[in-house]
A = this chain, B = another copy of it.
Amino acid sequence: MSFQNPVFIPGPTNMPEAVRQACYMPTIDHRSPTFGKILHPCLDGVRQVLKSKDAKIFIFPSTGTGGWETALSNTLNKGDKVLAARNGMFSHRWIDMCQRHGLDVHIVETPWGEGVPAGKYEEILKADKNHEIKVVLATHNETATGVKSDIAAVRKALDAAGHPAMLFVDGVSSIASMDFRFDEWGVDIAITGSQKGFMLPAGLAIIGFSSKAIAASANATLPRTFFDIKDMQKGYDANAFPYTPPVGLMNGLKLSLDMLLDEGLENVFARHHRIAEGVRKAVSAWGLELCAASPDLYSDTVSAIRTPEGFNATDIVTHAADKYDVAFGVGLGEVAGKVFRIGHLGSLTDVMTLSGLATAEMCMVDLGLDVKLGSGVAAAQEYYRTNPAAGK
């Protein structure tokens, strides 16, 4: 295994040295007060990153998928109605999970490359006179298509319909990288993981619950133990977990939160936007298009790039790994073979990004695409040098 080149997958991201070192701590007693000094700053810091005053934060030794399951199983009952849009691989998987847990999902099929259709949601919610829909799902950032959805608009749809359904948002690839407003958007459950904006290894599901969501948990009968938030809360109240916590990862999260909050959330978001914008300049210079249908949908954490008809976009990813030891993301599901993805989140600089763009160019030329070497790099360079990083 060579670890020399940065990775350009949309998570896990490159990790800051200090964060890796924080994760790599020796064993401590996880039932001692020492653990509380790691746990509580994590809970507080995540709450700040979510821009929430009093969301209850839960951290499970799991992944974003476990976060989805935590959300559903703690708040719903078999047969409950859920409204969801399918516009990418990750929204698709969450819907699939709902169905496996016996929920009745009203699926709004949405073209891959478009965002959550707030207008359609509003219609459906208005039509649901009996308020049978218990939860509305929204994927803030579809990692598969590089599409950012407008969660504020979804909230407006709920409000316009005067509908009491809860709003659950998958922020796995947005939270801690792109603006997320738990309180302002009236989010009831937000879900993320450790391996994206928090720049940690995978292994933590990180979840925020509104008081409404907490209240719903009192009557929820879907079976759960590992993901039970009541057990977890009882644990936290005693500086503990209901089982052995992933102490090192949480120690890393504590540091990552310190770093993000010291930098300032708006600066973190601006940093991601700047890096992303350079990538988009390159894509444009290559004469290619993003999967995301319009600029307002462009994600600042991942770009899914459409390749010409008849070309297998996955070849770029395989070739980059084989010949250059560089990792990009393949297209998934409906866009498999049609797009390749450049992840540009977490611990990444303009300079590192340029090496990813240069590699993509070499791959495309190697594979016969009509792209000029240096062209995308030059476009990104021009953007980066004239829009320097904060403080530079």
Which of A1, A100, A193 is packed against the most chain B CB atoms within 10 Å? A1
Complex alpha-carbon distance, A384 and B242, angstroms: 36
Write the nearest CB–CB distance from A220 to chain B, whole angstroms.
12
Q: Which residues of B are found within 8 Å of A30, using beta-carbon distances? A: 12, 202
* B373, A351: Cβ atoms closer than 8 Å: no
What is the 8 Å Cβ interface bit string for chain A, positions 350-362, against chain B (1 contact, 0 not)?
1110110011011
Q: Which residues of B are found within 8 Å of A270, using beta-carbon distances? A: none
Residue of B nearest to A318 (CB): B32
Q: How many residues of A contact B (CB 8 A)?
A: 97
Complex alpha-carbon distance, A62 and B65, angstroms: 12
Q: Which residue of B29, B223, B366, B374 is within 8 Å of A7 (Cβ)? A: B29
* A392, B323: Cβ atoms closer than 8 Å: yes
Q: Which residues of B are found within 8 Å of A374, using beta-carbon distances? A: 374-375, 377-378, 381
What is the 8 Å Cβ interface bit string for chain A, positions 1-32, against chain B (1 contact, 0 not)?
11111010101111111001101111111111
* B354, A202: Cβ atoms closer than 8 Å: no
Residues from 152 to 180 in A contacting B, C-beta threshold 8 Å: none
* A12, B27: Cβ atoms closer than 8 Å: yes
What is the 8 Å Cβ interface bit string for chain A, positions 29-63, against chain B (1 contact, 0 not)?
11110100000000000000000000000000111
| Number of chain copies forming the complex | 4
A32-B327, A64-B244 known; A24 vs B23 contact (CB < 8 Å): yes
A34-B1, A321-B32, A374-B381 known; A226 vs B66 contact (CB < 8 Å): yes
Residue of B nearest to A29 (CB): B327
* B377, A351: Cβ atoms closer than 8 Å: no
Is the C-beta of A335 less than 8 angstroms from some C-beta in chain B?
A: no
What is the 8 Å Cβ interface bit string for chain A, positions 333-360, against chain B (1 contact, 0 not)?
0000000000000011111101100110
* A28, B14: Cβ atoms closer than 8 Å: no
Q: Which residues of B are found within 8 Å of A323, using beta-carbon distances? A: 388-389, 392
Is the C-beta of A224 less than 8 angstroms from some C-beta in chain B?
A: yes
Q: Which residue of B5, B225, B358 is within 8 Å of A100 (Cβ)? A: B225
**22 A-B interface contacts by CB (under 8 A):** A4-B347, A7-B29, A9-B31, A15-B26, A17-B25, A61-B66, A61-B203, A66-B226, A69-B226, A202-B247, A226-B227, A323-B388, A323-B392, A324-B392, A351-B355, A352-B355, A362-B381, A365-B381, A373-B381, A373-B382, A374-B374, A377-B378
Nearest 9 Cβ contacts at the A-B interface: A374-B378, A374-B374, A29-B327, A355-B355, A202-B244, A3-B26, A354-B358, A373-B378, A24-B24
Given contacts A73-B223, A100-B228, A201-B249, 15 further A-B contacts (CB under 8 A): A1-B28, A3-B17, A5-B351, A13-B27, A15-B26, A20-B24, A62-B66, A202-B244, A202-B246, A322-B392, A323-B388, A324-B351, A354-B358, A362-B381, A366-B385
